[in-house]
Structure 1
Amino acid sequence: RLSAVYGGTYMLNKPDCKVEFDEGGKVVGVTSEGETAKCQKVVCDPSYLPNKVKKVGKVARAIAIMNHPIPHTDDSHSVQIILPQKQLGCKSDMYVFCCSYTHNVVPKGKYIAFVSTEAETDNPKTELKPGVDLLGPVEELFYDIYDRYEPVNDPSKDNCFISMSYDATTHFESTVTDVLNMYTKITGKVLDLNVDLSAASAAEE
């Protein structure tokens, strides 16, 4: 939205986006449905440039729809639980996150919970059982397992800045770190989050 406010070009809900390169291998634009948006840099997730990423693991995830908060959490509408790998006898921690209708993500009276871990098998139902068991009765439960990728390209050569896939964590610490690193690579600056945005906006006006 800010991009549009400041004159950026938006192409919403475009299918089959193809990143275009010049003869030297540098990005020159993105094409969809015969239209090409020209650019000097591309920022994207691994799905747009599969030949510039490598598989580094798998994530097992369960999504539960409930009509109650997670038991023994003081009826909290927002909960974050981390099950240590040693306690589970696994190689990775397991993450449980729950939010509710108070966050406007589900209808009134409903709760949604996520359970995730770095997959060690192709059976997410078995791997995620310790976390799912904490949820109590659930109305609907969905399981998924997906590959996790990291970029292997050199952005200084192709001007493609690719994020890492979401990992199993539910607190987004690794995602925030990835975004901050990408910002530095793209701009050559370290993002200063201590800036007083109100003062900065007033100065621009």
Structure 2
Amino acid sequence: MSRDRYILIARILHWVLSIGMIAEILLGLYSDGLPYGAGQAAARVTFLYSIHKTAGVALLAIAIVFALWLQLGPRRPGPEGRIGWDHALGRLVYWGLFVGMLAIPLTGPILHGNGPSWGYAPILWPWNDRVPGVPDAFAANRSVSAFHVQSWWLFAGLSIVHVLLWFRRRHLRRRFGTAPRIARLTVSARLSRLAPFAGVMMWLVVAALAA
């Protein structure tokens, strides 16, 4: 496969995940704000959660495909010497989003699928609602639900920084052309190699705070 086609498919997966995750967060926040009573009110909230949950499972599948696709792509040589702060921050944000796009949808099916635990709603698919191998005690654990509910703050913050860095790169390209330009503030390129570890650690911190 040519490099151009690989990049095209990667961009399509990227935008599907980006738009899907934002829509999922908005739908989840909207559903959380609705009164959960009985009758039609309860049925409406349950239906919205079912859509939220079904889309989350689909996004998890796409996220796994995207993760595998990135690993199968052509490898770029790692940076040497010193790199700009924006490049280092971009690597950190990338890995934070990379881990988040897997962690957030993964906790959703666990929570919503193993009723009658917190936030139960059926998945809109022909298979069993329950996630195989997940005990009810774990699915009903408040720490798991707190992580799933509060994790959107970190994901939203990382997304905002990601967009701001993209606009910064676009501005610099318009101003200085395609020639690489290193920011005044630089860090060792070795620090960027710790970005995957830092991306995992930031989500572990969220999990610890939720607990």
Q: Give the TM-score taking structure 2 as reference length.
A: 0.19
TM-score by length of 1: 0.19
Q: Which has the larger radius of gyration?
A: 1
Q: Which has the higher strand share?
A: 1
With a CA cutoff of 8 Å and minimum separation of 6, indicate the structure with the bigger relative contact order.
Answer: 2
